[in-house]
Structure 1
Amino acid sequence: MNDEHLHSVHQALQQLRDRAEMRQHLVTQSVSDAVPPDMRRLVQELQVHQIELEMQYEELLLTQASAEAATRQYIDLYDFAPVGYFTLTADGLIQQLNLRAAQLLGTVRQRLQDRRFALFVTMECRSKFLEFLVKTMSSDSRHTCELDMLREDGSHFFARLEGLAMLSAAGIKCCRLAVIDMTESKEASRALEASEARFRLLFEQSRDATLLIQDNYIIDCNDSALKLFNIHYKGELQGQHITIFAPPTQPNGKPSAEAAAAHTAEALSKGWSRFEWLMVGPNEEEMWAEISLTSFSLDGQSILHSVVRDITVQRGAREQLRREKEFSESLLDNSVDGIIAFDAQHRVTAWNQVMEQNTHKTEAEVLGKDIFDLFPRHREGLEGEAVCRVLAGERVTHYNLKLYGRPGHFESYFVPLLNTEAEVEGGLVLIRDVTERVRLAEEATQLKLRQQQEVHSAILTTQEEERKRIAEALHNGVGQLLYATKLNLENRAGGNSSRVSALALLEEAIKATRTISFELTPGILQDFGLKSALEELVKRIPHAGLHVHLYMKGDFDKLPQQLEVSVYRIVQELLNNIIKHAKARETFVHVVHEDGHIFISVEDDGQGFEPAQAKAKHSGIGLTSIRNRVDLLAGTLSIDSRPGRGTIVSIELRVK
């Protein structure tokens, strides 16, 4: 903004200079000789005076531009300063303040002028503020203090005050006060102090032996460390090298000093390190410790926080377990079953040769790893549930779990492993290959199924032959007789109402006989095939009661006769059920022949039912015969129905 204003001032001055030069040119022009000398002298003096006035005006504009620039600079430095500035009287009244000061107190400047500054200081800090104000007004040096202050809305903030006594323009002594919001800094300082206090409390009260190490030397320790090393006071440890209780060499043959330096270097570079360490106590007894090193910085120096845990007993037990495991592995590797052992943390502790052969993972690759890392897709499945149940002390058996990456059938037995105190410490999984046994069982099942299908075929053949015989008898016997009776009645002379009634009854009898004949064995099925028979079946259903849509896809001309009859009977029975029980207005029948299968789907918009309840009743809804037919044909049947939402019956039959 200042640059633009100065630019415009310079442009105005340039214009004034141009005008002055023009006026100077006029002065140099001589007045006509006809003008009297006094008049010529007066004109010249007026022109010179005009130029002097314009030059004075130019200087006035320069002074005004400087004043405006100074004013803007004052506003930038005072009103828009990031620090709150106040001018206080000797009594602490606010005479002047900037925008930041008003923001700090949470109100506008007009409401703050001539108010006591102490009103915005908490009651606990007002005496401290008054003492600060008196001290500032009574000296010429700068004074500071920190106060807890209040905003207009009552919220608190922490501020640092810097005050200096000055004389105002009227010669009255006042206090120039700078207020800096230190809330975030104060909160951070308090958090740091609290963190240091918590760290010290955790350090001193920790039940683990804890050391602070700098440059490989112990600088502090807690009481638990004194107890662990059987030392009476900290001075015996402070200043000692970290290898004070270590033997000259570790069991791996590496010098203790060199190994310790490597571990500390790793902790300093990575931030953390954990290792097992052989130590020699004050009584010369060996002790195994697990040491965790954590690196942190304090005042620019790297410090190591070391936690030392005595694991002598655990290590001995682990060694004993290792020896027992080696013995167990020698036995398990001779087993014909795949065997996995894992501990309570799901880590693999045994993996026999059968598992190696079937998973192509060696024992060295899997030992110590989480069992679900080896079989990640089984974590949420039945296998994961079985592992949890085993660790809870339960025996679990599963059939045909896919733990191997090859095809086959396997039985898996999950057994808990107990310690001497009957506590579960892991689990054992035995995987037995039963592929051959399952194959033999499937062959026996297929043989039994073929026998059932042959029996079913014989039954169906007998039933259809019997139905055919009954239909022919009805058609050729009863039907012909009734038809002859009708003709006889029609040829009699002179009709009356009784004759008309007799004819109507005979007509209905003939229709009923033909319908029975069609339902027992539709000749159209044998003569024209399944498609024509189903179309005729749909035509015979009165549209006023149920509107049926039939959709057929595929080649139905070369189907086995028994399968054609079964499909026809299934559709017939389903439509009868809908008419009797569903109270439907519309039905869609889909029959599809593709990929060696017959797919039947019958959907209605009727009242629906609960499939589980219908299956439990076994009768009353007409599905029993359909289920029997589908089972004998080794097909599948599914029912999707809800009360009030209609029913969808889907059937799949294999074409042999």
Structure 2
Amino acid sequence: MDTPHSPSAATLHAALQELRARAEKRKSLVTQSLHEKLPDDVQRLVQDLQVHQIELEMQYEELLVAQAELEALRAQYVDLYDFAPIGYFSLDPLGVITQLNLKGSQQLGTVRQRLLGRRFAWFVAPEDRLAFQQFLNRIQASEARQILELMLQREDGTVFYALLEGLAVVREPEQPPTHCRVVVIDITRQQEAKKALEASEARFRRLFEHSSDAVVLLQDNYYLDCNDAALHLLAALYRTEVVGHHMADFFPEWQPDGTSSLELIARVVREALDRGSAKAELLMRRLTGEDVWVEAVITPFAVEHKAPLLHVAWRDVTAARAARVELLRQKEFSESLLDNSVDGILAFDQELRITAWNRVQEEFSGRSEAQVLGQHVLELFPEYAGGEQEQGLRQVLLGQRMMRQDMPFHSSQGHFESYFVPLASPEGVISGALVHIRDVTERVRLAEEATALKLRQQQEVLAAILTTQEEERKRIAEALHNGVGQLLYAAKLNLENRAGTIQNREAALSLIDEGIKATRTISHELTPGILEDFGLKIALEELTKRIPKQQLHVHLHLHGLEQVRPRLYDVATYRIVQELLTNIIKHAKAHEAYVYVVHEDGHLHISAEDDGIGFTSTAGTGKQAKGIGLAGIRNRLDLLGGTLTVDSRPGKGSIITIEIEVKN
């Protein structure tokens, strides 16, 4: 590129030196004296000439100073011209470039020397050349400044947007312009920004028109524009029914809560201006008079020297609001059910975090709803972690229903049942679980009372049966003793008084003695009169004494039997010991037996131990001993509420332990 022309600093310095030299010379001329012999007229003439010379030289000096100043100003002008940020061109009437600055050559993409003498139109885009020629014509025909926007083309073919400002230069009045000056400003960025803005506006317009939400533009409380969705929302057919109307035309005077619609809108607008955006739910009124709830989102846009432009998006939330109200009603109803339920109720989500905790559960646990909501179940109840209870919680979240009695989710006393129900969506997605905790303490108490009553009734029936049995046995014993026994005794006496062979009589008498003895034994076994006459202790001692030692050596140990008991327990104890000894004699093949009968702490403890052959039992229950005489003992114990334990192994003998609670 070319460089600007400027005066040499050395030339200015030389001019100043010359001025100083002239000043010195003038000083010498002024001080130089004339010859005394010259006439006065000549001397005056010489002095006038010297003065005149000095005046001329002073004027010359002033001209030199003025020239130097002009050269300096010219240099500044050249700098400003050449290094200006915009292009300056001088064109003749035909549009030929006669002068340009450095920025102009840079804009056209070549050096200044190659541009001088060329037509400016060659650097105008072909589609804009006609407009450029008209621009030159307007400059030639008018003294006013002319403006044109067009596309310029550089030497290398690249183009840019330019703004041209032209003004004609007239040398002589009433003469046509000799040339014109044109300023070229690169406005490519402005044009690109303008196109981007236009594209943005087009996109905004498309969004505005095709938005599914109702959108309106307001300014100074009046509608400027609206889209089709807004027309549909307001039940309007034409934009003229909305545009130009006051915003209050589509709102009732008062909102349902008693707030003025205009005051509410003004408050929301102020909030939008402060925060940049605001949202509110408003009740609107369509042109048909129908009310509709909308969610309004207001976004303000600043407009220079005007009121802010409000972009308002309306969304019909009438159905959603009704659903929300219904949901709120159902929630309140559910909460009412939870709070008024007689059961403790809690819920937890998939992460085992508490989501519900009703009033009854608060009473059960002593923990308020605020204390437990959001807390992890296993953190609130660490005793459920890592075991069967935690596994149960996981199974419920997989869709399994269950009932547990070991997870009441509190530590209150009593009996509780917890019913676990998975919470699933209509699609089957499980979001958590609901737990009903029912206090069954009263039910268990009633069941226990019913069981106790049933047992008591069974015991009363047993007592009646045993009493009846004993009475029947007593009657049979009396019949045997008073009837059969007396007859046998009379027969014996009759045989003794009759004559006959001694051998026959002795044989008959021996048989009759055996019959009398058997009758007495049966009578005694049917009704032990010694039990009624002398009590349980003497009766048991007498029972063991009647067993021959060569048949079975019995060791009897008694303690506490002097205590008073209902006769039912004495009879049962006697019969149990009797049956135990009979079983040992018949089945155990034992030589020795130990029998313990103890009454202490309200319980009768009976134990029989032998050194017999033993038998196989199942876990001490005696289930394998049904055929060896324990069934009768078990029946008595079931009716009395007693327990029986058998400890026996083949070849090791047997130990049978019985415990009966004595109830007065």
- Structure 2 length-normalised TM: 0.47
| Higher Cα radius of gyration | 2
- Structure 1 length-normalised TM: 0.48
